[in-house]
């Protein structure tokens, strides 16, 4: 099965254009599945539905989270679909009717206004890094792009005249996102004064440059955000995805059509975007309960009791 897995990973890279992180996750999940098959003397091309169910049950006993189990189910579903089409049409697909497990809705976390103010406040001692990081965070907050999309930006992708960014998202899908005109001067300063000092190769096309003179990595972006969050009077945890969540929630709170938000975020399914409506409603409910006169009166009555 190892050889088939390697072929499949090449297919994900060259045909599906999956990211390195996604391919790495697929390799991990398929390797674990292969180990299970070897331990139980099973062949991947002679499995039935029951065999897969026993494998998932085995993982459940090890207390895997539902989200992790669903990731493995999707991985196996896609793998067997590939095998039946590209390897052998006669292979029985044990995943064809296997559905993902129902999981509770987890509301994404966004940032408070005060936390955003902390993040956009430079605290780096070196001017080059302070300005670069400022541009990086402003762009993430203004566009809602994924951290991988941000790291992969080239100079040619950012238009300072139209205030747009051309993004290559999941599945190699291209989309156009926008940033406020007020952000443009920051980016202009970075490109003209800072980036030339950071690059080591004049042929480098990456927009954001790291300390080694080449493209800034996703891990480096995560560290930049965390370093700024730690400088707060009240340190907080932050991830690049939280900036994306804040972007989406802010749009919905300002009555932007959900289909427009879907387009800006690069979601292939509207249901993925709809989770942000739960966040908006949850915030709205909290504001209502905290400010409505009757709500305050009821709290006072309960405290009096």
Q: What is the pLDDT of residue 294?
A: 55
Residue 297 CA to residue 288 CA, distance in Å, equals: 13
Three-state secondary structure readout of 132-149: HHHHHHHHHHHHCCCHHH
Instruction: For residues 75 and 121, state if they share a domain.
Output: no
Q: What is the dihedral of CA 210, 240, 100, 52, to 10 degrees?
A: 30
Domain that holds residue 252: 113-288
Does residue 175 lie within any of the structural domains? Answer: yes
Q: What is the pLDDT of residue 277?
A: 66
Per the structure, the count of domains in the chain is: 2
- What is residue 203's DSSP assignment? T
**Alpha carbon distances (Å) from 43 to 3, 17, 89, 113:** 13, 29, 16, 55
Q: What is the pLDDT of residue 207?
A: 97
CATH number of the domain within which 174 lies: 1.10.443.10
Residue 169 CA to residue 263 CA, distance in Å, equals: 11
Q: What is the pLDDT of residue 26?
A: 94
Does residue 304 lie within any of the structural domains? Answer: no
Q: What is the pLDDT of residue 282?
A: 55
Residue 132 CA to residue 76 CA, distance in Å, equals: 41
Query: In 3-state terms, what secondary structure has residue 85?
Result: helix
Q: What is the dihedral of CA 164, 216, 124, 131, to 10 degrees?
A: -30
Does residue 164 lie within any of the structural domains? Answer: yes
Residue 97 CA to residue 10 CA, distance in Å, equals: 26
**Alpha carbon distances (Å) from 227 to 97, 137, 222, 300:** 46, 12, 9, 42
Instruction: For residues 121 and 226, state if they share a domain.
Output: yes
pLDDT per residue as tens, the chain (305 positions): 889 999 999 999 999 888 888 899 999 999 999 999 999 999 988 998 899 999 999 999 998 888 899 999 999 999 999 999 998 888 899 998 888 887 665 555 667 778 888 888 888 889 999 999 999 999 999 999 999 999 999 999 999 999 999 998 887 889 999 999 999 999 999 999 999 999 999 899 999 999 899 999 999 999 999 998 988 888 888 889 889 988 888 888 788 888 888 889 988 888 777 776 665 555 555 655 565 555 555 555 555 54
Half-sphere exposure of 25 (CA within 13 A, CB side): 14
Instruction: For residues 56 and 172, state if they share a domain.
Output: no
pTM assigned to the model: 0.61
Give the catalytic positions in this structure. Answer: 146, 170, 241, 244, 267, 276
Q: What is the pLDDT of residue 72?
A: 93
Do 179 and 143 form a contact (C-beta atoms < 8 A)?
A: yes
Cβ neighbours around 33 below 10 Å, total:
20
């Amino acid at each position: 099965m190892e050889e088939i897995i390697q072929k499949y990973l090449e297919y994900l890279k060259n045909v599906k254009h999956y990211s390195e992180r996604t391919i790495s996750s697929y390799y991990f999940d398929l390797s674990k599945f292969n180990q299970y098959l070897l331990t139980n003397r099973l062949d991947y091309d002679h499995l039935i539905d029951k065999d897969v169910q026993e494998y998932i049950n085995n993982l459940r006993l090890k207390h895997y989270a539902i989200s992790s189990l669903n990731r493995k189910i999707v991985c196996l579903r896609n793998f067997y679909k590939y095998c039946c089409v590209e390897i052998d049409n006669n292979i029985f697909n044990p995943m064809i009717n296997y559905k993902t497990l129902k999981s509770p809705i987890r509301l994404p976390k966004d940032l408070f206004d005060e936390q955003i103010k902390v993040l956009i406040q430079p605290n780096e001692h070196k001017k080059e890094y302070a300005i670069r990081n400022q541009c990086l965070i402003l762009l993430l907050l203004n566009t809602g792009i994924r951290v991988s999309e941000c790291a992969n930006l080239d100079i040619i992708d950012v238009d300072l005249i139209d205030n747009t960014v051309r993004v290559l998202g999941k599945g190699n899908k291209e989309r156009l996102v926008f940033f406020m005109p007020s952000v443009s001067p920051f980016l202009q300063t970075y490109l003209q004064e800072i980036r030339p000092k950071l690059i080591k190769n004049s042929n480098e096309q990456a927009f954001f440059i790291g300390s080694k003179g080449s493209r800034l990595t996703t891990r480096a972006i995560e560290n930049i955000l965390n370093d700024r969050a730690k400088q707060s009077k009240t340190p907080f945890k932050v991830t690049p995805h939280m900036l994306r969540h804040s972007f989406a929630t802010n749009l919905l709170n300002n009555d932007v059509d959900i289909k427009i938000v879907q387009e800006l975020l690069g979601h292939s399914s509207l249901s993925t975007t709809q989770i942000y409506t739960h966040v908006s409603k949850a915030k709205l409910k909290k504001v209502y309960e905290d400010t409505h006169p009757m709500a305050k009166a009821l709290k006072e009555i309960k405290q009096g009791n």
